[in-house]
Amino acid sequence: MKLSSPRGTADIYGEDIDYRNFIINTARKIFEIFNYSEIITPAFEYTQVFSRSIGEGTDIVQKEMYTFMDRKGRSLTLRPEGTASIVRAVIENKIYSENMPLKLFYIGNMFRYERPQKGRMREFWQLGIESIGTDNPVIDAEVIWILNSFFKKLGFKKLILLVNSMGCSRCREKFLAEFKKYIKPELGKLCSDCQNRFEKNPLRVFDCKKNSCRSILDSSPEVSSYLCSECKENFKEVLECLKILKIKYRTDKNLVRGFDYYTKTIFEIISEDLYSAQNALGGGGRYDNLINQLGGPELPATGFAVGIDRTMMLMKQLNLKFTKLARKSRVYLIAMNKNCQIYSLDILKYLREMEVICDINFNNKNLKKEIKWAKDNNYDFIIIIGEDEINSGSLTIKDIKKFKQYKVDWKNQKDKIIEIIGANDYD
């Protein structure tokens, strides 16, 4: 049997690793500036962690979770998103900071059983942040600010933030009553999925992408019209902060995100350079009741998540280039035979101790082929070691990008190698 990776999974290597590292390093740098620290949680949890937080009626819990019984008959699920696990971890380990908010970030693989398509895999990678412990609107703005800075740093342009308020549980109740009243007579016109959703969890109808359903939703009552005075004031303050930060936003009354736990300000960032309906880069929102709902104290919180694979795909689509961090010169040693290879070990040892990126030919191909290989693989210098070099004790360093050549007395002038290599700053 020919072995292959399971449907909806991918091997990541080569240039994609460079993209990925650029995305992750950029995120880490920004998270650090905003005083976030990393948290790592397990890739699987007891199923309840997700069903009780994301919501029984959501598509994720209904259809998309990888749930299985372990050998003792316990129901486990591969995490479909990051927030629920982090909330579980915060409660379990009592990571309640004296000085709220608790600012956490994560990078990890997530799993959803969906029909795989470009940019949407069954195993996918996400990075995100959670800010736990305050409902201060300044923190909503800060979380959005981080998301915005991140995409700007990656090179995305024409960024627009879509924001909406889902209100608190009090205003949500009022809205739901009106919404149900509106949908009931239209129920027959909704797709069967939506009819199901409406029974279990009316808000989930907003997840539908079908035009027939969208057109009914277009004229439906909106959450934002039912905000209580406290929620209204809170949303206004978030928008004021965004203005001060000069973050371009658009309030979008149809913005409703796919998890049940969201309250108050939710958001999505889009790039107008991406024309499809799938132009969302990332998003998130406030979840003030989730921690309490999962057995923790009453702690309001907010956060966002970004798909790493998707971001990578969009960067390529828009031809955004990544920069490698602090590119150092690379040196390739070419030993002419086995004896030369053993002699070269001493040189390799020295270079690596000096933190020079270097390698040696392990198969003896002919010199021409080796030099071509070094060029193709982005090396800057080659050092050829033959019997002559061993006998004379000197080395010839060739700069294969600038076509220069240097001679160095290996035994007595080691430092000179570093001088030559270090003097060239490639980027």
Binding site for Zn ion (CB under 5 A): 167-168, 170-171, 191, 194, 208, 210, 213, 228, 231
Smallest gap from residue 40 Cβ to Zn ion (A): 35
C-alpha to C-alpha distance for 66 and 111, rounded to whole angstroms: 7
Shorter beta-carbon distance to Zn ion: residue 176 or 274: 176
Q: Which is nearer to Zn ion, 61 or 213 (CB)?
A: 213
- Please list, in sequence order, all residues whose beta carbon lies within 8 angstroms of the beta carbon of residue 15, skipping any fewer than 6 positions away: none
Closest distance of CB 236 from Zn ion, Å:
13
- Closer CB to Zn ion, residue 187 or residue 357? 187
Residue 247 phi/psi, 5° resolution?
Answer: -95, 120
User: How many Cβ atoms sit within 10 Å of the Cβ of residue 159?
Assistant: 18
Nearer to Zn ion, 16 or 230 (CB): 230
Considering the complex, what minimum distance in angstroms separates the CB of residue 320 from Zn ion? 34
Residue 200 CB, shortest distance to Zn ion, in Å, is: 14
Minimum distance, C-beta of residue 303 to Zn ion, in the bound complex (Å): 20
Return the number of the residue (169 or 392) whose C-beta is nearest Zn ion. 169
Q: What is the DSSP letter of 169?
A: H
- DSSP labels, 1-22: ----PPTT-----THHHHHHHH
Integer Cα distance of 339 and 83 in angstroms: 57
Return d(Cα 297, Cα 300) in angstroms, integer: 9
Q: What is the dihedral of CA 104, 292, 301, 20, to 10 degrees?
A: 40
Q: What is the DSSP letter of 158?
A: S
Contact (Cβ atoms closer than 8 angstroms) between residue 329 and residue 380: yes
DSSP state for residue 272 in the 8-state scheme: T
Compute CA distances 33 → 386, 408, 416, whole Å: 50, 44, 38
Nearer to Zn ion, 228 or 390 (CB): 228
CB 193, min distance to Zn ion, A:
5
